[in-house]
């Protein structure tokens, strides 16, 4: 077993899945890292982590985590398919967070394999072996929002994502729905994460949250934060709206579904309250102790037809399933993120 000194934790709870091994894919990624840390904080270390670390700095997210083993994706799939299966431990659940999360990814075949095919393979294995399966869907499946943000099964087949990333997630939702995996005797659960922000997203480059990007811009040069202008008359510059979710809440929802294997379905993970980019950036300035200084710049033409101007999760289905914990407000989440992670990290990097 691997041990380190510190664990990043979230809210208090008790993990009920003990004894067997739990798999977390995408474990060195943003939500994955925070999920493993929270499992550790709840006393669970019998974990098999799956991720491809590559040559970047994502490996640093593993610092502070406790687990049994870490293997790359291909090796895990080999074991799933029977090559080296004797080395595969007895598994009680899979939290599948490993995927390409870049909404701008153009390689459709890569997304088809990495997001849809990978998820389908793990789901089928979990169904055959009686393991709980919780996977990451996405709010990107909702497309332009013209049909709203309702996670009811009757709406899912009607959705039209705006990019291949969203479509790759939508494909699996449709496949699982068609095959009855949300409502059979051993149901699976999907999580439609809205705009998640928080610690350990540093490696995501351009896919980092605007909270992270804004904090960096505030600390550089004239301290000015750049936001996209609106190219639709009904929205003023910076007044485009999103449902922003603190990663601690995203983890809590994910693990609640893991701990309640009788619950099936695909569920929105959002606050149910839409806020503007101006609200978000103003909160970052406030947490940093500085006055707002925002500049609005043209949105690249390549994004304009695929840009969501408004998202707001409908939380009714999740609440009806029994999830009762309130979501963190935007101001409280950003304050916690800045004070407990971004500012200390910036100080360390200064030397």
Residue 158 to residues 58, 119, 141, 149, Cα–Cα distance (Å) = 36, 21, 10, 12
User: When comparing pLDDT for 231 and 9, which is higher?
Assistant: 231
The pLDDT assigned to 18 comes to 43
Q: What percentage of residues in the chain have a pLDDT greater than 70?
A: 93
Spatial distance between the Cα atoms of 180 and 123, rounded to a whole number of angstroms: 12
The pLDDT assigned to 267 comes to 98
Retrieve residue 130's tokens. 């009686």
Q: Is 204 a catalytic residue?
A: yes
Q: In the chain, what's the furthest Cα-to-Cα distance?
A: 61
Query: With 70 as the cut, is the pLDDT of residue 169 above it?
Result: yes
pLDDT in tens, 227-265: 999 999 999 999 999 999 999 999 999 999 999 999 999
Spatial distance between the Cα atoms of 202 and 206, rounded to a whole number of angstroms: 10
**Mapping DSSP to helix (H, G, I), strand (E, B) and coil, where does residue 245 land?**
strand
Alpha helices in the chain (DSSP H): 30-41, 73-80, 108-111, 118-129, 164-178, 210-218, 247-259, 277-287, 301-304, 316-321, 330-337, 343-350
Spatial distance between the Cα atoms of 311 and 302, rounded to a whole number of angstroms: 20
CB of 156 closer than 8 Å to CB of 203: no
CB of 28 closer than 8 Å to CB of 49: yes
Query: With 70 as the cut, is the pLDDT of residue 3 above it?
Result: no
Which DSSP symbol is given to 42?
Answer: T
Burial of 255 (0-12, 13-18, 19+ CB in 10 A): buried
Q: Is 58 a catalytic residue?
A: no
Q: Which of 231, 242, 232 is nearest to 279 (CA)?
A: 242
**Given CA atoms 150, 154, 156, 158 in this order, what sign does their dihedral have?**
negative
Q: What percentage of residues in the chain have a pLDDT greater than 90?
A: 81
The pLDDT assigned to 7 comes to 38
139 phi, psi to nearest 5 deg: -65, -15
Spatial neighbors of 344 by CB under 8 A, at least 6 apart, are none
pLDDT in tens, 184-200: 999 999 999 999 999 99
Spatial distance between the Cα atoms of 96 and 81, rounded to a whole number of angstroms: 17
Query: With 60 as the cut, is the pLDDT of residue 15 above it?
Result: no
pTM: 0.91
The single residue of 204, 213, 314, 317 carrying the catalytic annotation is 204
Confidence of residue 85 (pLDDT cuts 50, 70, 90): low
Spatial distance between the Cα atoms of 52 and 50, rounded to a whole number of angstroms: 7
Which DSSP symbol is given to 265?
Answer: E
Spatial distance between the Cα atoms of 203 and 60, rounded to a whole number of angstroms: 9
CB of 259 closer than 8 Å to CB of 306: no
The single residue of 116, 118, 142, 165 carrying the catalytic annotation is 165
Confidence of residue 202 (pLDDT cuts 50, 70, 90): very high
The pLDDT assigned to 156 comes to 97
């Amino acid at each position: 077993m691997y041990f380190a000194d510190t664990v990043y934790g979230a809210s208090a709870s008790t993990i009920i899945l003990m004894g067997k091994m739990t798999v977390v894919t995408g474990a060195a990624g943003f939500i994955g890292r925070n999920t493993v840390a929270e499992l550790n904080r709840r006393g669970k270390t019998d974990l098999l982590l799956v991720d491809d670390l590559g040559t970047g700095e994502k490996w640093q997210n593993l610092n502070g985590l406790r687990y049994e083993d870490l293997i790359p994706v291909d090796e895990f799939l080999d074991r799933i398919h029977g090559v080296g299966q004797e080395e595969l431990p007895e598994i009680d659940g899979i939290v599948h967070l490993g995927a390409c999360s870049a909404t701008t990814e153009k390689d459709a075949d890569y997304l088809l394999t990495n997001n849809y095919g990978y998820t389908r393979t793990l789901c089928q294995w979990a169904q055959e072996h009686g393991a709980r399966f919780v996977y990451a869907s996405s709010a990107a499946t909702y497309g332009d929002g013209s049909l709203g943000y309702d996670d009811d099964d009757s709406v899912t087949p009607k959705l039209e994502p705006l990019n291949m990333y969203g479509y790759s997630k939508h494909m699996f939702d449709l496949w699982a729905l068609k095959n009855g995996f949300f409502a059979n005797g051993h149901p699976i659960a999907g999580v439609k994460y809205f705009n998640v922000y928080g610690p350990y997203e540093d490696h995501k480059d351009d896919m980092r949250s605007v909270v992270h990007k804004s904090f960096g811009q505030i600390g550089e040069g004239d301290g000015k934060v750049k936001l996209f202008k609106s190219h639709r008359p009904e929205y003023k510059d910076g007044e485009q709206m999103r449902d922003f979710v603190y990663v601690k809440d995203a983890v809590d929802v994910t693990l609640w579904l893991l701990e309640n294997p009788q619950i099936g379905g695909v569920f929105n993970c959002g606050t149910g309250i839409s806020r503007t980019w101006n609200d978000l950036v103003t909160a970052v300035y406030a947490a940093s102790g500085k006055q707002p200084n925002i500049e609005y710049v043209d949105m690249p033409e390549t994004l304009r037809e695929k840009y969501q101007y408004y998202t707001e999760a409908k939380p009714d289905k999740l609440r009806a399933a029994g999830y009762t914990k309130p979501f963190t407000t935007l101001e409280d989440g950003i304050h916690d993120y800045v004070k407990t992670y971004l500012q200390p990290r910036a100080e360390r990097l200064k030397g």
